[in-house]
Structure 1
Amino acid sequence: MAQAARRVYLGAMPRPAAHGLPTRDQILDFITKSDAPAGKREIARAFGLHGADKVALKALLKDMADEGLIDSAPGRAFHKMGGVPKVTVMRIVDVDEDGQAFAVPESWHGDAPAPRLRVMERGRREPLGPGDRILARTEEAGRGHVAHPLKRLARNAELVLGVLHAEGDRLWLKPVDKRERRELPVSDAGEAQAGDLVLAEKAGRPPRITAKVTERLGEPFAPRSFSLIAIHKFGIPDRFAAETLAEAERMAKQPLGEGREDLRHLPIVAIDPIDARDHDDAVWAAPDDDPANPGGFKAIVAIADVGFYVRPGSELDREARKRGNSVYFPDRVVPMLPETLSADICSLKEGVDRAAMACHLTIAADGKLTGWRFTRAVVRIAATIPYEEAQAAIDRASPSSSQRTPGSPEVENPAGDRGFRWDEGLVETALKPLWACWAALAKARDARAPLDLDLPERRVVLDEKGRILSVAPRERLDAHRLIEDYMIAANVAAAKALEAKKAQVMYRVHEPPSREKLVALKEYLKTFGVEFALGQVVRPATFNHLLERIGESDFRPQIMEQVLRTQTQAYYGPGNQGHFGLALGSYAHFTSPIRRYADLLVHRSLAGAYRLDPAADATRLSESDAADLSRVGELISAAERRAMEAERETIDRYVAAYLSAHVGEVVDTRITGVKSFGFFATVVGLGGDGLVPVSTLGAEHFRYDEGSQALEGETSGERYTPGMLLKLRLAEADPIGGALRFELPEGASHMPLRRGTRDRRPVGRRGRPANIRHKGRR
Structure 2
Amino acid sequence: MSIQESLVSFMKEQAYKPMNAKELARVFDIKKHEFEEFLKTLSFMEKDGIIVKTRTEHYGVPERMGLVIGKLQGHQKGYAFLIPDEERPDVFIPSSALNGAMNGDRVMVKILREENEGKKCEGEVIRIIERFNNTVIGVFEDNKNFGFVVPDDKRIYHDIYIPKSCFKGAKAGQIVIAEITKWPDKRRSPEGKVIDILGKKGDKGIDILTIIKKHKLPEKFPPKVESYAEKISEEIPKEEYSRRVDLRNLKIVTIDGEDAKDLDDAISIERLTNGNYRLGVHIADVTHYVKDKNPLDKEAFKRGTSVYLIDRVIPMLPKKLSNGLCSLNPKVDRLTLSCIMDIDKTGNVVNHEIYESIIKTSERMTYTDVTKILRDKDEKLIKRYHNLLEEFSLMEELCNILYKKRISRGAIDFDFEECKIILDELGKPIDIKPYERAVANRMIEEFMLVCNETVAEHMFWSNTPFVYRIHEDPDLEKLNHFNEFVHNLGYVVKITKEIHPKSLQSIVEGVKGKKEETVINTLLLRSLKQARYSPECIGHFGLAARYYCHFTSPIRRYPDLMIHRIIKEFINGKINDKRSVRLEKEVEEASNQSSDMERLAEEAEREVDDLKKAEYMSDKIGETYEGIISSVTAFGLFVELPNTIEGLVHISTLTDDYYIYDEKHLCLVGERSKNIHRLGDEVKVIVDKVDLDAHEIYFELLKEEENSNNDHIHSEGKGDQSEVTEFIEEK
Under a length normalisation based on structure 2, what TM-score does the superposition of the two structures give?
0.79
Q: Say if 1:430 and 1:663 are closer, same or farther in 2 by CA, change over 3 A.
A: same
Provide, for residues 43-99 of structure 1, a one-character-per-residue CA deviation record: whole Å limited to 9, x for no partner. Answer: xxxxxxxxxxxxxxxxxxxxxxxxxxx9999xxxx9779965435999844249996
Deviates more, 1:464-473 or 1:386-395: 464-473
Partner of 1:131: 102
1:680 aligns with 2:638: yes
- Distance across 2 between alignment mates of 1:679 and 1:167: 39
Indicate yes or no: 2:308 matched with 1:308: no
In the TM superposition, residue 154 of structure 1 has moved relative to its aligned partner by: 14
Letter in 2 for 1:250: K
Taking the aligned partners of 1:135 and 1:373, their CA distance within structure 2 comes to 49
Within-5 A mapping of 1:399-418? 399=377
Alpha-carbon distance in structure 1 between the residues aligned to 2:622 and 2:503: 43
Deviation at 1:530, TM superposition (A): 3.7
| CA shift for structure 1 position 491 | 0.8
CA distance in structure 2 between the aligned counterparts of 1:702 and 1:775, rounded to whole angstroms:
34
* Counterpart pick for 2:443 among 482, 497, 500: 482
Q: 2:686 aligns to what?
A: 729
The equivalent of 2:314 in structure 1 is 334
Q: Establish whether residue 227 from structure 1 lines up as the match of residue 208 from structure 2.
A: yes
Match of 1:360 in 2: 340
Which residue identity is paired with 2:612?
Y
Instruction: Work out the CA distance in 2 between the residues paired with 1:775 and 1:526.
Output: 23
How far apart, in 1, do the equivalents of 2:680 and 2:621 lie? Answer: 23
2:265 to 245, 264, 281: 281
- Alignment equivalent of 2:138, drawn from 139, 148, 162: 162
Aligned to 1:61: none
Aligned to 1:272: 256
Identity %: 28
Contact 2:74–2:156, Cα closer than 8 Å, also in 1 = no
Would you say 1:435 and 2:396 are equivalent positions?
A: yes
Q: Summarize the Cα distance change of 1:644–1:540 in structure 2 as closer, same or farther, 3 Å threshold.
A: same
- Provide closer, same or farther for how the CA distance between residues 35 and 736 of structure 1 changes in structure 2, counting only shifts above 3 A: farther
Superposed, which structure 2 residues align to 1:164-179 within 5 Å? 164=140, 173-179=149-155
Q: In structure 2, what is the equivalent of residue 716 of structure 1? A: 673
The answer to whether the Cα contact below 8 Å between 2:623 and 2:687 also exists between their aligned partners in 1 is yes
Q: Secondary structure at the residue paired with 1:661? A: coil
Task: Give CA deviations for 1:527-559 in whole Å, capped at 9, x if unaligned.
Answer: 535443324853232223223444533222100
Matched, 1:215 2:173: no
Q: In the alignment, is the contact (CA less than 8 A) between 1:306 and 1:594 conserved in 2?
A: yes
155-164 vs 692-701, greater mean Cα deviation: 155-164
Asked if the contact 1:101/1:118 (under 8 Å) is kept, the reply is: no
SS of 1:149's partner is strand
Structure of greater relative contact order (alpha carbons < 8 Å, 6+ residues apart): 1
- Cα deviation, residue 501, structure 1: 2.2
Amino acid at match of 1:191: G
Structure 2 CA distance for partners of 1:127 and 1:690, relative to 1, 3 Å: farther
Report what 2:51 is aligned to. Answer: 86
Once the two structures are TM-superposed, the CA of residue 307 in structure 1 deviates from its matched residue by 1.2
Q: CA deviation at 1:136?
A: 2.7
- Whether the 8 Å contact between 1:654 and 1:735 is mirrored in structure 2 is no
Evaluate the alpha carbon distance shift between residue 217 and residue 93 of structure 1 in structure 2; reply closer, same or farther with a 3 A threshold: farther
Instruction: Supply the distance in 1 between the matched residues of 2:130 and 2:509 (Cα, whole angstroms).
Output: 56
CA pair 422-568 structure 1, distance change in 2 beyond 3 A = farther
Deviation by residue 1:126-174 (Cα, 9 ceiling, x = unmatched): 46686288973799xxxxxx99733589999863322357899998755
Q: Who is 1:772 aligned against? A: 725
Moved more, 88-97 or 334-343: 88-97
Shift of 1:295: 1.4
Q: Which SS does the other structure have where 2:645 is aligned?
A: strand
Which 10-residue stretch deviates more, 216-225 or 689-698?
Answer: 216-225
CA distance in 2, matches of 1:305, 1:81: 43
The separation in 2 between residues aligned to 1:495 and 1:246, in whole angstroms, is: 35
Amino acid at match of 2:266: A
Alignment of 1:14-413 (within 5 A): 85-87=50-52, 92-95=72-75, 101-102=81-82, 120=91, 126=97, 131=102, 136=108, 149-150=125-126, 159-164=135-140, 173-179=149-155, 189-201=167-179, 212-253=193-234, 255-256=236-237, 257=240, 258-289=242-273, 294-395=274-375, 399=377
Q: How has the CA–CA distance of structure 1 residues 137 and 463 changed in structure 2, closer, same or farther, with 3 Å as cutoff? A: closer
Q: Which amino acid aligns with 2:317?
A: L
Instruction: Give the drift of 1:327.
Output: 1.0
SS in 2 for 1:662: coil
C-alpha distance in 2 between matches for 1:584 and 1:214: 49
Q: 1:373 & 1:71 partners in 2: Cα distance?
A: 52
Q: Structure 1 stretches of 5 or more lacking a match?
A: 1-5, 7-31, 43-69, 105-113, 140-145, 400-411, 414-418, 752-763
**What amino acid sits opposite 1:102 in the alignment?**
L
- Paired letter, 2:666: Q
CA distance in 2, matches of 1:34, 1:497: 47
Aligned match of 1:28: none
Aligned equivalents of 1:196 and 1:444: distance in 2?
56
How far residue 319 of structure 1 moved from its aligned partner, in angstroms, is 1.4
- 1:739 matched residue in structure 2: 696
Does the residue aligned with 1:657 lie in a helix, a strand or coil? helix
2:663 paired residue among 702, 706, 714: 706
Could you tell me whether the CA contact under 8 Å between 2:80 and 2:94 is conserved in 1?
no
Structure 2, unpaired ranges of 5+: 4-28, 54-68, 112-121, 709-718
Structure 1 length normalisation: TM-score?
0.74
- Number of equivalent positions: 659
CA distance in 1, matches of 2:474, 2:310: 32
Q: Which AA in structure 2 matches 1:285?
A: I
Alpha carbons of structure 1 residues 148 and 165: separation in structure 2 relative to 1, 3 Å: closer
Structure 1 CA distance, aligned partners of 2:411 and 2:129?
50
Q: Provide the rounded CA distance (Å) in 2 between the counterparts of 1:301 and 1:775.
A: 23
**8 Å contact from structure 1 (residues 589, 599) kept in 2:** yes
Distance apart, 1:738 and its partner CA: 1.8
Deviation larger for 489-498 or 476-485: 489-498
One-letter code of the match for 1:351? K
**Does the CA contact (< 8 Å) of 2:332 and 2:360 recur in 1?**
yes
Deviations 1:216-238 (CA, angstroms, capped at 9, x unpaired): 22244444444323322222233
- Write the letter of the residue equivalent to 2:216: G
1:366 alignment partner AA: T
Cα 1:79–1:703 change in 2 (3 A) is closer
Q: Is the 8 A contact 2:256 2:365 kept in 1?
A: yes
Do the aligned residues in 1 keep the contact of 2:276 with 2:344 (CA within 8 Å)? Answer: yes
Amino acid aligned to 1:645: E
In the alignment, does 2:590 pair up with 1:645? Answer: no
Amino acid at match of 1:229: T
CA distance in 2, matches of 1:590, 1:134: 33
8 Å CA contact retained: 2:445, 2:723: no
Read off the aligned partner of 1:131 and give its amino acid letter. M
- Cα deviation for residue 711 of structure 1 reads 2.4
The CA distance in 2 between the partners of 1:557 and 1:376, in whole Å, is 43
Superposed CA RMSD in Å reads 4.4
1:525 matched residue in structure 2: 486
Confirm or deny: 8 A CA contact 2:618 2:689 kept in the other structure: yes
Alpha-carbon distance in 1 for matches of 2:162, 2:612: 27
- Decide whether aligned partners of structure 1 residues 159 and 541 sit closer, same or farther in structure 2, where only a CA change above 3 A counts: same
SS in 2 for 1:651: helix
1:322–1:80 CA distance, 2 compared to 1 (3 A): farther
Q: 1:425 to 1:243 in 2, by over 3 A?
A: same
Distance change (3 Å), C-alpha of 1:477 and 1:642: same
